């Protein structure tokens, strides 16, 4: 597997399709004495969700940041989109791995490569946002060394996803 910045001639890799993932539980977070804690709540019924396609355009990606792909031979099987942000953390805007390639460390490798690239651009770390009802993603970020750094329960008001909340995850190699 090769992990690398996506170049203009590999623009097609940006169109890696979104595939379904399971929603089987929720991460419930609390802030007490400036310390985040959490517990897991399992759903009675497992559901599947697939995010809408993004239709990334290479020029827009490089204007905002960069993209890293995981390539099996010449086929992109995983993708991470990183965007510049005003603070010292680069934003991991998207991370996806084809279903057949999940649980082999490709997401972890993309984050590691993205953190190295972000640090070369003078960022101190990376942050991302996970929906509280996507327990698999939340646990993945925590297992990669991300820490909970915030919570927003208003993002989905007045949308089809009302009732969900966003959890902000931060990865700072200086803390780990």
- Give the tens place of pLDDT for each residue, 16-54: 999 999 999 999 999 999 899 999 999 999 999 999 999
pLDDT band at 175 (very low <50, low <70, confident <90, very high): low
State the residue for tokens 């700072």.
172
Whether the predicted pLDDT of 174 surpasses 70:
no
- Give the tens place of pLDDT for each residue, 87-98: 999 999 999 999
CB atoms within 10 A of CB 131: 19
| Structural domains for the chain | 2-128 (3.40.630.30)
In sequence order, the 6+-apart residues with CB closer than 8 A to the CB of 69 are 3, 4, 6, 10, 13, 16, 76, 78, 79, 80, 110
Average pLDDT, whole number, for the chain?
93
């Amino acid at each position: 597997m090769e992990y690398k910045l996506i170049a203009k001639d590999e623009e097609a890799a940006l169109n890696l399709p979104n595939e379904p993932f399971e929603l089987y539980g929720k991460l419930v977070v609390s802030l007490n004495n400036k310390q985040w804690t959490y517990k897991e709540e399992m759903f009675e019924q497992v559901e599947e969700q697939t995010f809408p396609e993004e239709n990334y355009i290479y020029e827009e990606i490089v204007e905002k940041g960069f993209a890293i792909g995981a390539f099996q031979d010449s086929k992109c099987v995983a993708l991470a989109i990183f965007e510049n942000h005003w603070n010292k953390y680069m934003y991991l805007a998207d991370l996806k791995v084809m279903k057949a390639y999940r649980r082999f460390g490709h997401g972890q490798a993309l984050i590691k490569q993205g953190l190295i690239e972000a640090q070369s651009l003078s960022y101190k770390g990376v942050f991302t946002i996970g929906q509280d009802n996507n327990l698999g993603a939340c646990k993945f970020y925590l297992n990669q060394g991300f820490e909970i750094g915030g919570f927003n329960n208003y993002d989905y008001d007045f949308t089809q996803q009302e009732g969900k909340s966003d959890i902000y995850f931060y990865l700072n190699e200086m803390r780990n």
